[in-house]
């Protein structure tokens, strides 16, 4: 099962390697990882989506993260009401006759075309896991040529 956790870390040299190394050394899987500076530049905010078979493994992951000297706090969103979002960019190709159909679908999913060249377009969309999934299903009829996702960010 996938769980979303956020980690506040000291924004120091090697901190990402410490987190990534912990996961690989202990055999945990990262489904996605998003990192950036916070308003306080000495602190970074990481959102990690982890695969954990059971509660015990999830507990260990949180405890091991907390044990790292550079980790300030660990928040588990599993049982918390929270908002999570992911941003995607998708390159699709479509013909002029499909334009209306595409625009209708983009509107439905609150997505938009951010770049356009000939018959290819780059679509930008923000949403939670389910919304993104539905959008991608809708876009698949046009043929997705490239897809980039930021990974999930979350906040409670």
Partner 1 sequence: MKLTGAQILLECLKREGVQVIFGYPGGQVLPLFDKLYDSDIRFILVRHEQGAAHAADGYARATGKPGVCIATSGPGATNLVTGIANAYMDSIPMVAITGQVKTHLIGNDAFQEADVTGITRPITKHNYLVKDVNDLSHIVREAFYIASTGRPGPVLIDIPSDIQMKDAEFIWPESVSLRSYKPTYFGHPGQIKKAAKLIANSKKPLLYIGGGIITSGAHVVLRELAEKIQAPVTWTLMGIGGFPATHRLSLGMLGMHGTGFANHATMESDLIIAVGARFDDRVTGRIDTFAPSAKVVHIDIDPSSISKNIRVDIPIVGDAKNILGELLEQIKKLPDTSDWLKTVDGFKKKYPLKYKESEKIKPQYVIEQIDEITKGEAIITTEVGQNQMWAAQWYKYNYPRTFISSGGLGTMGFGFPAAMGAKLGCPEKTVIDIAGDGSIQMNIQELATCVCNKINVKVMILNNGYLGMVRQWQELFYKKRYSHTCITGPDFVKLAESYGAVGIRVTKKEDVRPAIEKALAIDNTVLVDFHIEPEENVYPMVPAGEAINQMIEGLA
Q: Which residues would be at the binding site for partner 1 (CB under 8 A)?
A: 9-10, 13-14, 17-18, 21-22, 25, 56, 59-60, 63-64, 66-67, 69-72
Nearest distance, CB of residue 119 and partner 1, angstroms = 44
Nearest distance, CB of residue 61 and partner 1, angstroms = 10
Our CB check for partner 1 shows the closer of 64 and 129 to be: 64
Within 1-154, where are the H helices?
15-25, 55-67, 99-108, 129-139
Q: How far is CA 138 from CA 40, 90, 112, in A?
A: 39, 12, 13
Nearest distance, CB of residue 17 and partner 1, angstroms = 6
Among 92, 89, 88, 90, which Cα is nearest to 151's? Answer: 88
């Amino acid at each position: 099962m996938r769980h979303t956790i956020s980690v506040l870390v000291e924004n120091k040299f090697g901190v990402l390697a410490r987190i990534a190394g912990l996961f690989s050394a202990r055999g945990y899987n990262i489904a996605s990882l998003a990192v950036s500076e916070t308003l306080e530049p000495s602190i970074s905010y990481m959102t990690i989506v982890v695969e954990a078979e059971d509660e015990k493994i999830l507990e260990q992951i949180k405890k091991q993260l907390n044990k790292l000297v550079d980790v300030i706090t660990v928040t588990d969103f599993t049982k918390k009401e929270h908002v999570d979002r992911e941003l995607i960019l998708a390159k699709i190709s479509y013909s002029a006759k499909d334009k209306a159909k595409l625009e209708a679908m983009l509107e439905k999913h609150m997505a938009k075309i951010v770049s356009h060249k000939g018959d290819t377009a780059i679509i930008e969309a923000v949403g939670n896991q389910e919304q993104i999934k539905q959008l991608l299903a809708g876009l698949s009829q046009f043929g997705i040529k490239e897809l980039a996702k930021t990974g999930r960010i979350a906040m409670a």
